[in-house]
């Protein structure tokens, strides 16, 4: 059992927002999915106030060590999510964490209030990787901007508020401290790193969104460094993520101070990755000589 800001998790492995579609997976795998759900909590993909189409294609570029995505947060919007998706997600055998993003403090406030009012929602995760249209500042890249956001939304809910930090900040530790001081219940990191690819034939940007977010094994060392730095600076529980493919990667993040670990990009390759990583982690943790089970090879 793992306690994460009041949630009781059967093991420390959850999913990264936007990387596992539980509703589509249930269509594909049927009731088997519920009998052996790969994660100890389910995090929804980001929900915005109004519906979004997402970015124009192409939306993905495969790297040697992961992906660049410029999906652009397509979703049904708050009303569509609450009416259609949330009742289905509530049938999952694990707590549901709803990830929300707004383009102003008022938008985030509306999302938090509406989601928090629903009993199916165990906790909220704030995706603060986008600019505030009122100030032009990325909410999660500036400590003062994040403090102002939390001052507005923290009083609106008694449920745990997890702040998902962006690695695209000059001082992630300062942002983490600001989140703690302003009443965040937990932190999650890392979100994707900004990256770009060119079409080798035309030399033009490959992605429809021009730049995108880098994820997967390519970002693992960055994630470990940021989780280590943040865990050394705050007392809040931390959900570590970034490039986790195996139990050993999860163990590294836990050794760096994370309470729970999210699996993201790896679930596209192996939809049962969450379950596998949890089993591998348990094996490593149960062994008194856990360290010896871990190969010193980097891959």
Ligand X SMILES: Cc1cc2nc3c(=O)[nH]c(=O)nc-3n(C[C@H](O)[C@H](O)[C@H](O)COP(=O)(O)O)c2cc1C
- The residue ranges that bind ligand X (CB under 6 A) are 16-19, 45-46, 67, 69, 71, 73, 99, 127, 164, 190-192, 215-216, 219, 241-244, 263-265
Q: Exactly one of 5, 115, 130, 231 is catalytic; which is it?
A: 130
3-state secondary structure 223-237: HHHHHHHHHHHCCCC
Cβ-based nearer residue to ligand X, 13 or 219: 219
Question: In the complex with ligand X, which residue's Cβ is closer, 17 or 116?
Answer: 17
List the alpha helices (DSSP H) in the chain.
Answer: 22-29, 32-35, 77-80, 86-89, 105-116, 143-153, 172-181, 220-233, 247-255, 266-269, 273-286, 290-293
Q: Which is nearer to ligand X, 68 or 92 (CB)?
A: 68
Residue 58, preceding peptide bond in cis (omega within 30° of 0): yes
CB of 138 to ligand X, least distance (A): 13
Query: Closest distance between ligand X and the C-beta of residue 31, in Å?
Result: 26
By beta carbon distance, the residue nearest ligand X is 18
Element (H, E) at 2: strand 2-4
Residue 105 structure tokens: 């403090």
User: How many CA atoms lie less than 13 Å away from 237 in the CB half-sphere?
Assistant: 16
Q: How far is the CB of 62 from ligand X (least distance, A)?
A: 11
Q: How many C-beta atoms surround the C-beta of residue 167 within 10 A?
A: 22
Tokens describing residue 76: 């049904």
CB of 285 to ligand X, least distance (A): 20
Question: What's the closest the beta carbon of residue 69 comes to ligand X, in angstroms?
Answer: 4
Q: Which residue lies nearer to ligand X by CB, 201 or 230?
A: 230
200: Cβ contacts below 8 Å, ≥ 6 apart:
none
Asked whether 33 and 95 are in contact (CB, 8 A), the reply is: no
Q: How far apart are CA 186 and CA 200, in angstroms?
A: 42
> Smallest Cα–Cα separation from 40: which of 281, 221, 248?
281
- Least Å from the CB of residue 146 to ligand X: 15
Angle at 280 between CA 274 and CA 281, to 5 degrees: 85
Q: Are 245 and 217 in contact (CB under 8 A)?
A: yes
Which residues are bridge partners to 188 per DSSP?
A: 164, 239
130 a catalytic residue? yes
Shorter beta-carbon distance to ligand X: residue 141 or 289: 141
Nearer to ligand X, 126 or 234 (CB): 126
Active site (catalytic) residues: 130
């Amino acid at each position: 059992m793992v306690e994460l800001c009041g949630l009781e998790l059967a093991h420390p492995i959850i999913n990264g927002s936007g990387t596992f579609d539980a509703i589509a997976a249930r269509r594909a795998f049927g009731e088997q999915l519920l009998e052996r759900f790969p994660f100890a909590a389910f995090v929804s993909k980001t929900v915005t106030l109004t519906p979004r189409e997402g970015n124009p294609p192409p939306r993905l570029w495969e790297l040697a060590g992961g992906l660049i995505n410029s999906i652009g947060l397509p979703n049904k919007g708050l009303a569509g999510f609450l009416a259609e998706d949330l009742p289905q997600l509530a049938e999952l055998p694990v707590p549901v964490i709803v990830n929300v993003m707004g383009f102003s403090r008022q938008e985030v406030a509306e999302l938090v209030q509406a989601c928090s009012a629903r009993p199916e929602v165990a906790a909220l995760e704030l995706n603060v990787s986008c600019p505030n249209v009122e100030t032009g500042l990325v909410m999660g890249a500036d400590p003062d901007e994040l403090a102002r956001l939390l001052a507005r939304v923290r009083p609106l809910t008694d449920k745990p508020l997890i702040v998902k930090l962006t690695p695209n900040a000059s001082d992630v530790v300062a942002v983490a401290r600001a989140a703690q001081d302003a009443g965040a219940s937990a932190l999650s990191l890392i979100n994707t790193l900004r990256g770009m690819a060119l079409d080798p034939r035309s030399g033009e940007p490959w992605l429809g969104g021009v730049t995108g977010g880098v994820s997967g094994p390519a970002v693992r060392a960055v994630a470990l460094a940021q989780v280590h730095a943040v865990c050394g600076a705050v007392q809040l529980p931390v959900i570590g993520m970034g490039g986790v493919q195996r139990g050993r990667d999860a163990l590294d993040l836990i050794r760096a101070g994370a309470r729970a670990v999210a699996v993201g990009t790896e679930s596209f390759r192996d939809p049962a990755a969450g379950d596998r990583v949890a089993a591998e982690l348990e094996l490593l943790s149960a062994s008194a000589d856990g360290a010896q089970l871990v190969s010193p090879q980097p891959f």
